[in-house]
Structure 1
Amino acid sequence: MAYRLPTISLFAMFFLLRLTAVADVVHATTALNQGRVDEAALELRSDLKMHPHDAVLHQMLCRAFYSEELADRAIGECEAAVADTRSDDALLSENLMWLGRAYGLKASRANPISAFRIAKKVVASFERSTQVDAKNVSALSDLGEYYVGAPSIVGGGLDKADRLVLRMQPVSATKAHRLLAMIAEKRDDYETSEAEFKRAFEAQRTPQTLIDVAGFYQRRKQCDEAVSTVRTLVRMDRAKDSAIVDAASVLTACNREPQLARELLSSYLTSPARSDNAPAARVHVQLGDLIAKSGDSEGARREYEAALALASEYAPARKALQAR
């Protein structure tokens, strides 16, 4: 007679496997936040062989591919994450949000005809995400940005953005003010836009809300105000999180303070507050480009190589390295 394991042992084995999977997700999340994309992707692929219908693992792998700007692979994993989500509205909303972002990445690189078709998938994913979980602030914000930026023929429109503000206000006054600012800016009402960006900052005084003020000034070519706002942000952002990467981008767009921009990017790359909001590989390339402008080709090369060491399929780093 074949030996059969007792039921309790089978349960214990299953429980240990799930604990291992949870630990692996934590480890992969840490690796992804720190920018070690290849390491995170390798671990996630291994875990998916054992748990092929784990929605969280698929979402994490989607985010890894997204950070490398590999749109088709990101879409495939996020579609699997959505399909495999069961009885968890918050998780389903998150997965739909990331799917919308992945579609958006693909649309941004597609020809006009393909982009038109894909854009409809972007807005459909964001809208469904906010329907599944009306308190998903990030999804509401993404949907608002889409409504403001996209033409009505692909589901955008300021009228829809206006209505979305009413849904956002009970959930996040900060994000509602931000969306009002974007709507006003789109309508060329710059006085109202500036005021609403500042109201968002007053509602939640964080580096993330202040960078929106700096970005507004940069787009309006008010670079003195933009630089002043960035300096305030730098003093505020003790954690050195992704906001200082955006601050460096504002300085670069204004063609101001290149040394400060380099210092901000370097600070982020050594900060424990790194996240996939600003993938480290992208920041290395951004820093490499600034260093290259100073005439230091070898220093720039080191940054591009550092990017590829973290994310070997990150095409902008490979392209920049080949150009050296």
Structure 2
Amino acid sequence: MGRRFWRLFSSLCLALPLTVLPAPAKALVPFVYLPQEKELEGAGLGIAQAAARLLRLGQAEDAARLAELTVRLLPDDPRGWVLLAEAELRSNQMEKAVVALARAKQLDPNNAGIWFAEGSLALRNGKPQDAIGLLRKGIELDGKNAGAYFDLGNAQILLGNTDAALGSFEKAAGLRKDFWEAINNQGLVLFESGRTADAIGRWQRVLKIKPDIAETSLALAAALFERGPAERAQALKLAETALAEEPNYVKDSFQKEQLWGPRLRAVTAQLLALPELKAAVERAQANATAGDGNGGSSDDS
């Protein structure tokens, strides 16, 4: 950084006329301030903290821009590269995230967070088998990361390893209090395994933690609907609430993206076909984002 300023100063000097004049007795000596290494480090870490705050607030693109500045100031600090990779992952800049993670791993191969981030990236890129290997390597280094076990469970669901997935989600929920996503996904696995009562218990627990989760509300509605007429009124109410909160759940394709299995999607299709839900379903279809899939249709493929 100092040399760049010096080159700029030199070029300005060269642009001046070559006439040599006597220097005044009190001439000022040109001075370019060169920040000390500790100052650069402090500035870089301050910017990293600001980037992390933006990331927590969901402002991934702004966080990525600040993280890029961090790694310019601190190119040999793996923490900045991990932060940059995370911000790029969340802002769907996958190719850039790969580069950042590779640099971070080069600097600190024993950093569990790097392996977890690579596993998450592989999962998002549709490579669940690769994700499992990366996540397990990270877990060997840090066995108390709830998010890693959650990602591991999702990868295992995609590969049809339901028992292993259930164990991973249970581990995640045990490590992080009120980890509703992990509890919700336990319900997904249990329902597909025919353990409807256990699935209902998990989803009821989620809604006590966070009452406005559309996915859980609709899944619970489907499970209650399957149990019989006695639960029908509650199922209808939950379904209406869920579709109003997140219209995309009217689409089978969206349910599938959220790792809903064929059994849950089929029961949900039957629920959404009820005359009492016609108006709610039509509103959801009108408000859902464009994409494939018809509301309430079942696709076991």
Of 131, 142, 157, 1:85 maps to 142
Partner residue in 2 for 1:164: 202
User: Corresponding residue for 2:178?
Assistant: 135
Return the alpha-carbon distance in structure 1 between the equivalents of residues 163 and 75 of structure 2: 37
Within-5 A mapping of 1:59-138: 59-85=116-142, 92-107=145-160, 118-138=161-181
Residue-by-residue CA offset, 1:47-75 (whole Å, 9 max, x unaligned): 11222232322222112111221122100
TM-score normalised according to structure 1 size: 0.53
Report if aligned partners of 1:141, 1:179 keep a CA contact under 8 Å in 2. no
Higher RCO by CA contacts (8 Å cutoff, separation 6 or greater): 1
Q: 2:269 aligns with which of 200, 219, 227?
A: 219
Q: Is the alpha carbon distance of 1:252 and 1:137 closer, same or farther for their aligned partners in structure 2, counting shifts above 3 Å?
A: closer
> Partner of 1:174: helix, strand, or coil?
coil
Match of 2:112 in 1: 55
Residue 42 in structure 1 maps to residue 99 in structure 2: yes
**1:127/1:19 CA distance change after superposition, 3 Å:** farther
CA distance in 1, matches of 2:170, 2:295: 34
Unaligned runs of 5+ in 2: 1-36, 46-72, 253-264
Kindly indicate which of the two structures has a greater share of residues assigned to helix: 1
Residue by residue, what CA displacement relative to the aligned partner does 1:156-179 show, whole Å, maximum 9, x if unpaired?
x11212332453243112345344
- Alpha-carbon distance change, 250 to 131 in structure 1, aligned in 2, over 3 angstroms: same
Give the unaligned 5+ runs of structure 1.
1-7, 108-117, 152-156, 235-243, 255-324
Give the match for residue 282 of structure 1: none
Decide whether the 8 Å contact of 2:250 with 2:285 is kept in 1: no
Which amino acid in structure 2 is aligned with residue 211 of structure 1?
N
Structure-2 change in CA distance of 1:22 and 1:159 (3 Å) = same
The 8 Å contact of residues 197 and 213 in structure 1, kept in 2 or not, is answered as: no
Letter in 2 for 1:149: E
% identical aligned pairs: 14
Are positions 1:228 and 2:283 aligned together?
Answer: yes
TM-score, structure 2 normalization: 0.57
Which residue in the other structure is 1:26 paired with? 83
Report the Cα offset of residue 38 of structure 1: 3.3
CA RMSD of aligned residues (A): 3.7
Q: CA deviation at 1:139?
A: 1.0
State the shift of 1:98 in Å: 0.3
Aligned residue pairs, count: 210
How far the C-alpha of 1:186 sits from its partner, in A, is 4.3
What SS does the corresponding residue of 1:248 show, helix, strand or coil? coil
Over residues 223-277 of structure 1, what are the superposed CA-to-partner deviations in whole Å (9 max), with x where a residue is unaligned? 975443122x35xxxxxxxxx3xx52344886xxxxxxxxxxxxxxxxxxxxxxx
